[in-house]
Chains A and B, each alone.
Chain A
Amino acid sequence: MKVRTVAVYYVFTIWTRIFHWLMVGAIAVLFCTGLYIGNPFYIGSQGVEPTFAVNNWASMSTIRFIHFAAAYILMASFIFRIYGFILHRGDRMLPKPWTKLFWTGMLDMGLHYSFLRSEHRPYLRNSMARAGYGGVYGMIFLEAFTGFAMYGQINPNSWLSKLFGPINHLLLDEYVVHIIHHYVAWMIILFVIIHVYMATRADMSEKYGEISAMFSGVKFYDKEPDDVGDLKE
């Protein structure tokens, strides 16, 4: 048996890991309930007055409640993310387009993913992943802002409406906000497909412990990663 010598890098704090899995659950619930809200159908036995049907286990009212509850859980889980972000450098691996490494790394990964380079340099988080995560955070914030813009208008005099209501005007009208919310939800799902694939791929071919890192917080490298500077001073 061949023995592999690796160095252990503590990348993600427990707070980021908790956030990650809360986010996974919340987004799954948000997407499924969101699809229903966008194109609903009657669930339950026919011939019931709406007064009683609203108490069905899966009425529009219930499903909307689940959607809003999941949205609040996702928003609250950001507290963990922010705490980790402040606490530990490994939780701060942002895209850094002002560095040379970001662009050489991007080229490196591009060539590797298009099968033109059989191996890529070791990274704690490669440039493409950094850009992708930056993008998905952007999409989540866009969903949150458009979501609260619509939700807050239930009571146009509430502070929530005062805070987010102007977004409805910024984007022409509220109908456009609905559409953006709907389209971006699909884009997040497309991101999830790529993300799950890329993580699995990296885990299987590179043996850095890509997937387990989101449970244990550590990654294993035989060579020192190029972006180790983001972890150590």
Chain B
Amino acid sequence: MKDVESLWDLFQKRNVSRRNFLKTCVTITGILGLSPSLISDVVSAAEKQPLVPVIWLHGHECTGCDEAFIRSQSPFASDVLLNMISMEYMDVLAAAAGEPLEHHLQEVMKKYNGKYLLAVEGAVPLNDDGIHCMVGGKTFVHNLKEVAKGAAAIIEVGSCAAWGGIQAAKPNPTKSVSVSDVVSGKTIIKVPGCPPIPEVITGVIMHYTLYGQIPPLDSKGRPKQFFGNRIHDTCYRRPFFDSGMFVEKFDDAASKAGWCLYKVGCRGPETYNSCGNLRWWNGLSYPIQSGAPCIGCSANNFWDNDPFYNRMPNIPVPNTIVNADQVGIVAAGALTAGVIIHGALSTIQHKKHHKETHDTEKDNE
């Protein structure tokens, strides 16, 4: 896009009706988690606010977040949201490649200095001077710092950018870290998830585009409207949890009846995401709805919280598989036996000592 224009300009250029424009604004209001009374604000912003140029960098990752992003398909909004951003650089979707594209990046950075939104996907490997992830012959950490300098705000797309992701899981051979670990002094929005919900990615960009400012964030830097609640607290299977009705095994009757997956390792009670209310693929489903426990993919360090299908992690005891409760029962039992033995020995010693002192007292008399 040559000139930075508004969403309404774009609609007019494509001969889409005002009616459709307003419908889109209503959809956007809903997706952004805004109150219906703010529709008029959204409409006026969509009329006036210029589209924000976006630079999208890829680091140490699998491009799964792109796969999610391009499937953003909330009714009517999908295509719009994609077209709404003035996407200036994204190596996996760009028609150009190689030097011309890298050259374009330099130009965009200069042209929109201090104005562009930087979306980063992937972790930043630091080991061995960052050579574990190279783009255009330079290390990713170098590119990131360079592009971040002129960014108005940075969005960490996906768990890798937000926390380090699978690369940062133990033993983290490349010493991968999150974007916020290497970039400082910038407004950073975390949009974790492996991948994040497509509508959440577009929704956050959308919010910035419309309001020219970042959405309200929680203390961890995640947008409140999407990461405000635990999946557990928005889960449609919550009544089964509250009633104590649990799936014990993946092939039991309870699992067919759709009871709560808490005991087969569901991380819903610890995970903040919109899966419970937005769901995936146009509200089609989400892991818990399809009978698979949440693995907590938007939580920090979730890869190390294995095994995923157990409520509690195992405690490393050689030649056996035990959890905290089993260890606790054995420890409490052993300790009880220990104090009984100690008590018996104490009694013996006490009696002996008592007799001795008694004897010496007698001798003294």
Chain B residues lying within 8 Å of A173, measured Cβ to Cβ, are 270, 296, 299-302, 305
Contact B332 A190 (CB under 8 A): yes
Q: Tell me the A45-74 residues at the B interface (CB within 8 Å).
A: 48, 50-51, 53-54, 56, 58-61, 63
Contact A165 B300 (CB under 8 A): no
Question: Which of B305, B332, B346, B347 contacts A175, CB < 8 Å?
Answer: B305
Chain B residues lying within 8 Å of A175, measured Cβ to Cβ, are 267, 270, 296, 299, 302, 305
Contact B219 A166 (CB under 8 A): yes
Contact A182 B350 (CB under 8 A): no
A3 at the binding interface (Cβ < 8 Å): no
Contact B245 A50 (CB under 8 A): yes
User: Known interface pairs A154-B233, A173-B299, A175-B267. Does A42 touch B246 (Cβ–Cβ under 8 Å)?
Assistant: yes
Interface residue count on the B side (C-beta < 8 Å) = 50
Contact B335 A194 (CB under 8 A): yes
- Complex CA–CA separation, A153 to B269 (angstroms): 10
Contact B242 A50 (CB under 8 A): yes
Chain B residues lying within 8 Å of A172, measured Cβ to Cβ, are 300-301
Chain B residues lying within 8 Å of A48, measured Cβ to Cβ, are 243
Q: Tell me the B333-365 residues at the A interface (CB within 8 Å).
A: 335-336, 339, 342-343, 345-347, 349-350, 352-353, 356
**1/0 contact string of B309-330 vs chain A (CB within 8 Å):** 0011100000000001101100
State how many angstroms separate the Cβ of B159 from the closest Cβ of chain A: 11
- Complex CA–CA separation, A48 to B242 (angstroms): 13
Chain B residues lying within 8 Å of A186, measured Cβ to Cβ, are 324-325, 327-328, 331-332
State how many angstroms separate the Cβ of B19 from the closest Cβ of chain A: 36
Contact B346 A60 (CB under 8 A): no
Contact B299 A174 (CB under 8 A): yes
- Complex CA–CA separation, A48 to B244 (angstroms): 11
- Complex CA–CA separation, A139 to B362 (angstroms): 49
Stretch at the interface among B67-75, B95-103, B224-232: B224-232
- Complex CA–CA separation, A59 to B220 (angstroms): 34
B263 at the binding interface (Cβ < 8 Å): yes
Chain A residues lying within 8 Å of B327, measured Cβ to Cβ, are 186
Closest to A162 in B: B219
- Complex CA–CA separation, A53 to B219 (angstroms): 37
Closest to A119 in B: B353
A197 at the binding interface (Cβ < 8 Å): yes
Contact A197 B343 (CB under 8 A): yes
Contact B324 A183 (CB under 8 A): yes
A5 at the binding interface (Cβ < 8 Å): no
Contact B312 A179 (CB under 8 A): yes
B11 at the binding interface (Cβ < 8 Å): no
B21 at the binding interface (Cβ < 8 Å): no
- Complex CA–CA separation, A42 to B240 (angstroms): 10
Question: Which of A40, A179, A194 contacts B244, CB < 8 Å?
Answer: A40
Closest to A43 in B: B244
Chain A residues lying within 8 Å of B356, measured Cβ to Cβ, are 118
Closest to B244 in A: A60
State how many angstroms separate the Cβ of B265 from the closest Cβ of chain A: 11
B239 at the binding interface (Cβ < 8 Å): yes
Closest to B296 in A: A175
Q: Tell me the B177-236 residues at the A interface (CB within 8 Å).
A: 218-220, 224, 228-230, 233
State how many angstroms separate the Cβ of A177 from the closest Cβ of chain B: 8
- Complex CA–CA separation, A92 to B239 (angstroms): 47
B280 at the binding interface (Cβ < 8 Å): no
B140 at the binding interface (Cβ < 8 Å): no
Chain B residues lying within 8 Å of A25, measured Cβ to Cβ, are none
B89 at the binding interface (Cβ < 8 Å): no
Question: Which of A115, A154, A169 contacts B219, CB < 8 Å?
Answer: A169
Closest to B352 in A: A118
Closest to B325 in A: A39
A44 at the binding interface (Cβ < 8 Å): yes
Chain A residues lying within 8 Å of B353, measured Cβ to Cβ, are 118-119
- Complex CA–CA separation, A75 to B265 (angstroms): 31
**1/0 contact string of A160-197 vs chain B (CB within 8 Å):** 00000110010011111111001100100110011001
Contact A50 B240 (CB under 8 A): yes
Chain B residues lying within 8 Å of A115, measured Cβ to Cβ, are 345-346, 349
B262 at the binding interface (Cβ < 8 Å): yes
18 sampled A-B residue pairs with Cβ under 8 A = A40-B244, A40-B262, A41-B246, A42-B244, A42-B245, A42-B246, A53-B244, A59-B242, A59-B244, A115-B346, A115-B349, A153-B230, A156-B218, A156-B229, A173-B296, A176-B305, A179-B313, A201-B346
Given A60-B241, A175-B270, 13 more contacts at CB 8 Å? Answer: A56-B244, A63-B244, A118-B356, A169-B219, A174-B299, A175-B299, A178-B269, A179-B313, A186-B332, A189-B328, A190-B331, A194-B339, A197-B342
Which 9 pairs of residues, A with B, have the shortest CB-CB distance? A53-B243, A186-B328, A197-B339, A50-B239, A174-B270, A61-B242, A118-B353, A60-B244, A50-B243
Name B's A-contacting residues (CB within 8 A). 218-220, 224, 228-230, 233, 239-246, 262-263, 267, 269-271, 296, 299-302, 305, 311-313, 324-325, 327-328, 331-332, 335-336, 339, 342-343, 345-347, 349-350, 352-353, 356
